[in-house]
Amino acid sequence: RKEVEQDPGPFNVPEGATVAFNCTYSNSASQSFFWYRQDCRKEPKLLMSVYSSGNEDGRFTAQLNRASQYISLLIRDSKLSDSATYLCVVNMIDNFNKFYFGSGTKLNVKP
């Protein structure tokens, strides 16, 4: 079983739509949670950290459910520029600071 699982998509949505991505993780000892954005043939870049209380950054809202080991990302009022792959990333400190990556969910926002 993969440590982090995501729906690969693609999600094809019109501009202005609201879209939600989900992610599950297998290790209950996981400590930190993130959403990264990766454009085609580029490196991943941090979109936002995910906190237990939920957090919002403009059009983006992230939520964490530790009991269900589930993370979500909601994008409101989608823009063409939101088209990218969104990676769910989970961090656990064992003997070192280890990161586990989902395979990514691809989003295509259409005009």
Partner 1 sequence: DGGITQSPKYLFRKEGQNVTLSCEQNLNHDAMYWYRQDPGQGLRLIYYSQIVNDFQKGDIAEGYSVSREKKESFPLTVTSAQKNPTAFYLCASPSNTGELFFGEGSRLTVL
Chain contacts with partner 1 (rule: CB under 8 A) = 2, 4, 8, 32, 34, 36, 41-46, 49, 87, 89, 91, 96-104
Select 2 or 110, whichever has its Cβ closest to partner 1: 2
Lookup result for tokens 């823009």: 79
Select 66 or 98, whichever has its Cβ closest to partner 1: 98
> Are 103 and 44 in contact, with CB atoms under 8 Å apart?
no
Nearest distance from residue 82's CB to partner 1, in Å? 20
Lookup result for tokens 């269900």: 68
- DSSP 3-state of 5: strand
